[in-house]
Structure 1
Amino acid sequence: MNRRQFLVGSTALSFGLAGFSHAQSAARALPLPPLMDLTGGIDGRVPLMLAPSNHDFGNGAISQTFGINSTYLGPVIRARQGQTLPFDVSNTIGEGVALHWHGLHIPGSVDGGPHQEIEDGATWSPDVPIVQHASMNWFHSHTHGKTARQTYNGLAGILLVEDDASLSADLPKTYGVDDFTLILQDKAFNGAGEMIYQLTGEVFEDGFQGETLVVNGAIAPLTQAVPSGLVRLRILNACNARFLTLSLATGPLSVIASDGGFLASTVDVESVLMSPGERYEVLVDMSSIQSNGLQVDLDGGDNEGGFLASLFGGGTTLTALTLTQNGDPGFQGSMPNRLANLSPPNRSEATVTRSFELQMDTGADLAALAFAWGNICGDGAMAINGQPMNMDRIDEEVRKGDKEIWRISVDDQLHPFHIHGCSFRILSQQGAAPPAYAQGWKDMVHVEEGWSEVLVRFDHQATAETPYMYHCHILEHEDCGMMGQFTVT
């Protein structure tokens, strides 16, 4: 057992094993987040109420949570390219909160980063322009030093962008019938079945990792009846820190889209590795099969097995969602071949190269500074290029419209890296070509060994008053100071 496995195992034991036993219970019906469909037009401002609540994850216990227009999580907002979304984000959670539109190509002034914290009892009213192509995006807390806890407690939702091509495409698109949004999270529960979140040295080190898989706010395994034909799953890894490996019980995963939109063509793979914050869309063919299961490996594809595998005598793979054909005629189109026009990224087009080293082991000298700058990391600190996050410091200045190469490396562990305000193309991931399903538009890349490199261009302004962020998307690492900020002018 290596050090990282031991730390994960120690965290599991400190929370008790009740959560793992919950995951083995009988399948429940898949809950559907409420759909807020704005594609047909917008009548007035769009309210999003952030509030404390109580939620039953399906084990009969009542947990204290946050919700957005709900007891836990938020709606699935469906918008169309060319619209401007007039949000009224009201905060009543009892503390300040910032709400970030993860994946949207928008100016820094409405991005929802930590400089746009909403005081308790106040309302933030951004007019958010939707300019990008069809894509699956999400919104979540981005409060400086509090992102991990607030997101874990429920401040997250989905924002689907459609365009003329996606609306006319021969793809499943009937929400809750053949088109499902899946928000995957890992949770810890105490002996009474109540959701818990605790910060320890191990959690600061690895990020918070619970041992119970939750889908759309309900403990897995879950089940959903579907018609025959193709079924579309739009999947978000909304875990604080856990990488997830997805597969199907029968047949390959047919991936059609990544973070920033459609791939060039459907990619059939045995499994997909999803880092925290990543999104993928897949098609499941139910035309000649009675049932199929979406499997999730909670070890994120760790071939060494991990602590739970050794403890229970097996792996930590769970059939999170079983799709069962109900006999109704469904979407009868064929598996798509051509999806989007995507030429390979050309690194020679870049005029600037920037390097970012994500650092976990910064030593004691930076800890006091990191704490003074609002980073929450126990007795330590994390940094990028030797500097913990400082709200008063601009780390990079980018010129609007320039193509740049951003190179990311780490000193320890596997980290997901996110850049605000853009989508990019991955040139290399961990020193090698990215898998075929990650060769489209992305806003997430991960790195553990070697360099990961992305080709990026920023088309919207971000000033020093409301800059963009770049950061590790292990949320506890972000809160620890593994984040920087940049302007685009």
Structure 2
Amino acid sequence: MRNRQSSMIVLALAIFLIIIIYFFQSEALFGPMSNTSMNRDQAQSQSEADQGERTATAEPLPIPELLEDTNPHPDQATFDIVSQNGSKTFVNDVETETMGYNGDYLGPVIRVRRGEEVTINVENQLEDELTTIHWHGLEVDGEADGGPHSGILSGETWSPTFTVDQPAATLWYHPHPEKNTGRQVYKGLAGLLFVEDEVSDQLAIPKTYGENDIPLIVQDKQFNADGRFNYHLAMPDIMTGLQGDTMLVNGSIDPYLEVNQEMIRLRILNGSNASIFELAFDSGITFHQIASDGGFLTEPVEMDQLRLGPSERAEILVDFSQVTKGEVVQLMNRNQSFMTFNVEGQAETAFTVPDSLTTIEPIEPSEAVRTRQFVFQGMGPSVNINGKQFDIDRIDETISLGDTEIWEVSNDSGMGMMGGTVHPFHAHGVQFQILDRDGRAPAPNERGWKDTFIVEPGETVRVIATFNSPGVFMYHCHILEHEDAGMMGQFEVK
């Protein structure tokens, strides 16, 4: 009994010592916190104290503009993007400092076609700040991928050219500078990128952009009591990533969308820094997921809840034809409403859920020439993969061009009695097929192409891919504060 008590005392002291060590390490990594911002408990108390004073006016859902293609050639496209500082009012009629692409917050939708040669001129107008722009989910060579190696200095322009060679999908773009990705994305640098092809052309699904084909960039934020962004990194935020208590959709708080009594298509991006969303409709409306990160599923999957980790995407079909005119439908995250659909007019076009969507050829495990292991480990500023933190001068894995490999991604970053952290795994320049989770087949909506997938504490996820794009690419946790802290590695395909 005495030995057991001694062991418990030693364990408690060890946990306390770990927390103290992480605190001082976080001070060294992220800078002093007590003098620059409130910790989470203080911020929460302040928020609760001023809740009655903090107001946001509901507005129609903002729809990002489609970026103009300035190239008249039918098989080529040219786009111009500017990263810039800005300001925007979210609550209390107070402006907060933001960043945006071609505007104050977020960016336009870039729409390209399979087979097009695309050039994107990216100008950095941020004040004295380096940035990059990463085409998340796009299968391009490493030189065009936009990772940490492709830094754009303030006042300079980067103009990658690439040929789109992958199925129709909802992708996105965001900055990827070393140790500063979380802050730049949080302040507003993000936008959607649509790939279209013959399959998407032929499917009888809603595709009129802004009317029945609606983009939803869903994020959560913390605001100070005065209505400004509160991007701080107190201890809980270093452990779990920065999570907020206020939901935004396309940069708006509690927006509404007027819809007809018809089927609409929602292209949803979890654009948060760290939060996992569990989305559902309050009225119990079911919906059909038709696409995941890398494109259409083989057939629609009927669901009543959608779970998305940071940077995951899903396209869903929602049928409002059975909803009474004048009824209000709420979109919710974990039973908290954050967007309203006002059902108004009669159906303009009658859509039905297709029986099938596309063909996906499974990659057979027997085709793999190698199996690699990637293990999420550590806590706070000590997070790592396979015991190593990111070093921009080190290549961690080398892959032969055209090879098929199995990657086993495990989450060993649990904290014993203190629980563990979910980690979303993302790799650049490639799309995976999930083979299994702890030996179990993936859920039906995870049986398409995926570039990001959640790994639960203690879980191992096996995926398979063929690496057809040469160059240096990143793999990392897509909790952006973890990525910035070093939970990232590099692989080279050659």
TM-score (norm 2): 0.85
Instruction: Specify the code of the residue in structure 2 equivalent to 1:81.
Output: R
Instruction: Specify the code of the residue in structure 2 equivalent to 1:13.
Output: Q
Moved more, 422-431 or 155-164: 422-431
Q: Assess, with a 3 A threshold, how the Cα gap between structure 1 residues 57 and 427 changes in structure 2: closer, same or farther.
A: same
Alignment of 1:93-112 (within 5 A): 93-94=126-127, 95-112=129-146
> For 1:391 and 1:32, how far apart are their aligned partners in 2?
37
Tell me what 2:490 maps to: 485
- Find out whether 1:79 has 2:84 as its counterpart: no
Q: Assess, with a 3 A threshold, how the Cα gap between structure 1 residues 17 and 77 changes in structure 2: closer, same or farther.
A: farther
Verify the 8 A CA contact 1:72 1:217 in the aligned structure 2. yes
Instruction: Specify the code of the residue in structure 1 equivalent to 2:153.
Output: E
Tell me what 1:304 maps to: none
Instruction: Specify the code of the residue in structure 1 equivalent to 2:365.
Output: R
Q: Assess, with a 3 A threshold, how the Cα gap between structure 1 residues 144 and 332 changes in structure 2: closer, same or farther.
A: same
Give the counterpart of 2:149 among 106, 109, 115. 115
> For 1:473 and 1:443, how far apart are their aligned partners in 2?
11
- Find out whether 1:325 has 2:333 as its counterpart: no
> For 1:148 and 1:470, how far apart are their aligned partners in 2?
16
Verify the 8 A CA contact 1:429 1:446 in the aligned structure 2. no
Tell me what 1:394 maps to: 395
Q: Assess, with a 3 A threshold, how the Cα gap between structure 1 residues 9 and 267 changes in structure 2: closer, same or farther.
A: farther
Instruction: Specify the code of the residue in structure 2 equivalent to 1:481.
Output: G
> For 1:278 and 1:90, how far apart are their aligned partners in 2?
27
Verify the 8 A CA contact 2:91 2:227 in the aligned structure 1. no
> For 2:64 and 2:53, how far apart are their aligned partners in 1?
22
- Find out whether 1:476 has 2:476 as its counterpart: no
SS in 2 for 1:28: coil
Shift in Å, 1:186: 0.4
Deviations 1:89-129 (A, max 9, x none): 01011200011000001000100000001011111011132
Tell me what 1:447 maps to: 455
> For 1:485 and 1:440, how far apart are their aligned partners in 2?
25
SS in 1 for 2:207: coil
- Find out whether 1:16 has 2:25 as its counterpart: no
Shift in Å, 1:391: 0.2
Instruction: Specify the code of the residue in structure 2 equivalent to 1:241.
Output: A
Verify the 8 A CA contact 1:255 1:437 in the aligned structure 2. yes
Give the counterpart of 1:28 among 51, 59, 68. 59
Q: Assess, with a 3 A threshold, how the Cα gap between structure 1 residues 187 and 17 changes in structure 2: closer, same or farther.
A: farther
Q: Assess, with a 3 A threshold, how the Cα gap between structure 1 residues 107 and 24 changes in structure 2: closer, same or farther.
A: same
Larger Rg: 2
Q: Assess, with a 3 A threshold, how the Cα gap between structure 1 residues 392 and 183 changes in structure 2: closer, same or farther.
A: same
Shift in Å, 1:251: 1.8
Number of residue pairs the alignment of both structures matches = 444
Verify the 8 A CA contact 1:406 1:455 in the aligned structure 2. yes
Tell me what 1:306 maps to: none
Instruction: Specify the code of the residue in structure 2 equivalent to 1:175.
Output: Y
> For 1:237 and 1:260, how far apart are their aligned partners in 2?
14
Verify the 8 A CA contact 1:22 1:212 in the aligned structure 2. no
Verify the 8 A CA contact 2:407 2:463 in the aligned structure 1. yes
Deviations 1:143-190 (A, max 9, x none): 000000001001110000000120221010111111100000001111
Q: Assess, with a 3 A threshold, how the Cα gap between structure 1 residues 12 and 278 changes in structure 2: closer, same or farther.
A: farther
Verify the 8 A CA contact 1:87 1:128 in the aligned structure 2. no
For structure 2, the 5+ residue unaligned runs are 1-15, 20-38, 415-420
Tell me what 2:411 maps to: 410
Give the counterpart of 1:348 among 366, 369, 381. 366
Instruction: Specify the code of the residue in structure 1 equivalent to 2:124.
Output: N
Deviations 1:242-290 (A, max 9, x none): 0000112232121000000001111011211100000000011011213
SS in 2 for 1:189: coil
TM-score (norm 1): 0.86
> For 2:377 and 2:53, how far apart are their aligned partners in 1?
36
Instruction: Specify the code of the residue in structure 2 equivalent to 1:55.
Output: K
> For 1:418 and 1:454, how far apart are their aligned partners in 2?
12
Shift in Å, 1:227: 2.2
Tell me what 1:335 maps to: 353
Aligned sequence identity (%): 40
Verify the 8 A CA contact 2:288 2:302 in the aligned structure 1. yes
Shift in Å, 1:438: 1.2
> For 1:214 and 1:20, how far apart are their aligned partners in 2?
17
SS in 1 for 2:484: helix
Q: Assess, with a 3 A threshold, how the Cα gap between structure 1 residues 352 and 51 changes in structure 2: closer, same or farther.
A: same
Tell me what 2:27 maps to: none
> For 1:140 and 1:340, how far apart are their aligned partners in 2?
28
Coordinate RMSD, CA, aligned: 2.4
> For 2:50 and 2:314, how far apart are their aligned partners in 1?
27
> For 2:158 and 2:467, how far apart are their aligned partners in 1?
25
- Find out whether 1:297 has 2:330 as its counterpart: no
Instruction: Specify the code of the residue in structure 2 equivalent to 1:152.
Output: Y
Verify the 8 A CA contact 2:259 2:341 in the aligned structure 1. yes
Shift in Å, 1:433: 2.3
> For 1:350 and 1:398, how far apart are their aligned partners in 2?
12
> For 1:386 and 1:329, how far apart are their aligned partners in 2?
56
Q: Assess, with a 3 A threshold, how the Cα gap between structure 1 residues 387 and 21 changes in structure 2: closer, same or farther.
A: farther
Verify the 8 A CA contact 1:15 1:189 in the aligned structure 2. no
SS in 2 for 1:151: helix
Shift in Å, 1:428: 1.7
Instruction: Specify the code of the residue in structure 2 equivalent to 1:415.
Output: H
SS in 1 for 2:67: strand
> For 2:291 and 2:177, how far apart are their aligned partners in 1?
29
